[in-house]
Amino acid sequence: MWSKKKFIVIPIIAAALLFGSTAGIALADEGAEDTPRTTFVETVAGLLGITPEELQSAFCDAREQMQELDPEDRNAEQFKIILAETLNDLYGLYGTTEEALEALEDAITQAKEAMHEQIEAFKAQIQERVQARRAELQEQFEARREQLRQRLEAHSSEQQEWLEARKEQMRQRLEARRAELREWFETENGDLQGRIGAWQSRLQEWREAHKEALQGRIGAWQSRLQEWREAQGNGNGNSTADNGNGTAGDGNGTAGNGNGQSN
């Protein structure tokens, strides 16, 4: 199981070693016109004195040879050795495999440094663009905020003017209504006074017309009240005399009782 994993991992490591940074450089090239369009593979191939296509062809041949080895012999160092031999065999760049391997490692190191410089330059360029864009957005924000502030002040002024005009309009309407009510009261005052006088006259006439009848009724009620009082007085006197006679009788009875006892 571990052998199968090593067989898969080692070519991946080797591919990342040579081609892993190509995508990053390509993306950097898309965003920056001033960035040199030199990929990692192109840099290594240029240092070795071959084309990128030749380097890729040698890489494919080395990978096929790597697959023919035993699993325990497959590692990154072995892949670099095979790649150096392949380059030397295909293009005869160096006399020995050691020289080809050393040249390959130097080319990879220099390509990494060049790629790092390109990335740093691209990062600095992106940073400058970000700062410039940030400053531009800040200016737009400040301008927009000032514009909104001015609109708010203008709107507040318009609202204040509208309120003042509305207040003045209401005051004028109130004054006009007061004047109308005052005129109506002055106009209707005489009429009301006339009506009040008429009602007072009618009340006086009614009093005069019913005065004798009222006095007759009052006299009749007084007479009846006097008769009732007299009747009540006579009734009370008779009751008192009856009570006196009863007492004498009681005395006589008592005397009778005494006579009876004497007998």
DSSP 6-34: HHHHHHHHHHHHHHTTHHHHHHHHHH-TT
Tokens of 167: 């207040």
pLDDT value of position 149: 92
Q: How many CA atoms lie within 13 A of 203 on its CB side?
A: 6
Q: Are 100 and 94 in contact (CB under 8 A)?
A: yes
pLDDT of residue 252: 44
Does residue 184 fall inside a structural domain? Answer: no
Across the range 238-261, mean pLDDT stands at 46
With beta carbons less than 8 A apart as the criterion, state whether 80 and 13 touch.
no
Domain contains 193: no
Q: Is 121 inside a domain boundary?
A: yes
pTM: predicted TM-score of the whole model, two decimal places: 0.39
pLDDT of the residue at 197: 83
- Residue 53 included in any domain: yes
233 in a domain, yes or no? no
Q: How confident is the model at residue 87 (pLDDT cuts 50, 70, 90)?
A: confident
Instruction: Look at 34-43, 82-91, 238-247 and tell me which has the smallest mean pLDDT.
Output: 238-247
Residue 206 has pLDDT above 70, yes or no: yes
* Both tokens assigned to 171: 């005051």
The mean pLDDT of 173-190, rounded to a whole number, is 85
Give domain status of residue 215, yes or no.
no
Enumerate residues 6+ apart whose C-beta is below 8 A from 44: 18, 55, 104, 107, 108, 111
- Res. 90 pLDDT band, cuts 50 70 90: confident
The 8-class DSSP code of residue 49 comes to T
Cβ(124)–Cβ(109) below 8 Å: no
List the domain range (segments joined by +) for residue 72.
2-125
pLDDT band at 16, cuts 50/70/90? very low
Answer yes or no: is 257 within a domain. Answer: no
DSSP 263: -
Answer for the pair 18, 44: CB distance below 8 angstroms, yes or no: yes
CB-CB contact of 96 with 40 (8 Å): no
What pLDDT is stored for residue 19 in this prediction?
A: 46
Two structure tokens written together for 216: 């007759």
Distance, CA of 260 to CA of 70 (rounded, Å): 174
Specify the DSSP class assigned to residue 50.
Answer: S
Q: How far is the C-alpha of 36 from the C-alpha of 25, rounded, in Å?
A: 9
Reported as a pLDDT band with limits 50, 70 and 90, residue 243 is low
Residue 62's SS3 state is helix
Confidence of residue 144 (pLDDT cuts 50, 70, 90): very high
pLDDT value, residue 130: 95
Of 29-33, 96-100, 214-218, the least confident: 29-33
In a domain, 98, yes or no: yes
- Counting the structural domains of the chain, the total is 1
CA distances from 42 to 6, 76, 86, 104 (A): 28, 21, 18, 13
DSSP 72: G
Amino acid 165 reads A
